[in-house]
Amino acid sequence: MQPFVCPQETEERAYRMQLSSFERRKSTIGLTPLIDVVFLLLIFFMLASTFLKFSAMPISGARGGGQGGNLAEIAIIQVRGLQDIRINGQQVGLDGVRAQIDDLIGKGVTRAVVQPAKSAQVQDLVKVLEVTKTAPLKSVVVVR
């Protein structure tokens, strides 16, 4: 004689058996969507960045222990702001910088030393350097 088995118990046992025989597949990430994302990022960064140098100007810093030179050949340009620029102690605006440098070149000045004040902005210094770059000076040096 067979022992009595509840029909509900046999269904549960069969269900458990199916679960144990079921193997999980490992999910893999497809390479195609990954490559698409990489190319989209590459295009984005290429379009978002610039590769041009808009206005690069070479400037040289002062070197210690250099040539003494004649002080009459040097123009000292102090930059405190766009409207407060002093060339050899004489106050001029940005518009008068080139004319003042031309006058000094006529008197024998060949070099310029640009000294920005702590209150001067970088853009002020760049504008003064752009003006001095067009002048026929041998060298323009920026000092602190």
Q: For residues 117 and 142, what is the distance between their CA atoms, to the nearest angstrom?
A: 11
State residue 41's pLDDT score.
Answer: 95
Handedness of CA 75, 76, 80, 86 (dihedral sign): negative
Q: Domain 70-142 classified CATH 3.30.420.270?
A: yes
CA distances from 136 to 28, 71, 129 (A): 68, 18, 13
Mean model confidence pLDDT for the chain: 76
Beta strand pairing call for 139-142 and 111-116: parallel
- The pLDDT value given to residue 63: 59
Confidence (pLDDT) at 13: 60
**Exposure of 84 by Cβ count < 10 A (0-12 exposed, 13-18 middle, 19+ buried)?**
middle
pLDDT of residue 78: 86
Given a cut of 50, the residues of the chain with pLDDT beneath it are none
**What single letter denotes the amino acid at residue 111?**
R
DSSP annotation of 85: E
Note the pLDDT of residue 22: 57
| 97-106 and 122-134 helices, crossing angle to 10° | 40
Residue ranges of domains in the chain: 70-142
